[in-house]
Amino acid sequence: MRKVKVGQTYRHFKGTIYKVIAIAKHSESLEDLVIYAHDDKVWARPYDSFISKVDKEKYPEVKQEYRFEEYD
């Protein structure tokens, strides 16, 4: 399984660059969430969704394999 690194920057398959600021637990379901930021906005996404592959049927033109990939 792919591991998300706190402090690492990631590129979303649509091109935006985000920085992972934490891995959190949902208070009720205990699901792991990735907390990430861009332009003073903070977002949360289920861990499994963050590391998932791009839906090539919905986005056939996308070259990136994963929804978020490490970016240097």
The per-residue pLDDT for range 33-65, each reduced to its tens digit, is 999 999 999 999 999 999 999 999 999 999 999
What DSSP character marks residue 52? P
pLDDT of residue 72: 86
For residue 1, pLDDT over 80 is answered with no
Query: Could you tell me if 66 and 2 are in contact, meaning their C-beta atoms sit under 8 angstroms apart?
Result: yes
Assessment of whether the complete model's pTM goes beyond 0.85: yes
Strands (DSSP E) found in the chain:
9-12, 17-25, 32-38, 41-46, 68-71
Judge whether 67 and 16 are in contact, CB under 8 Å. no
Sequence-distant (≥ 6) Cβ neighbours of residue 55 within 8 angstroms: none
Domains in the chain with CATH codes: 9-71 (2.30.30.320)
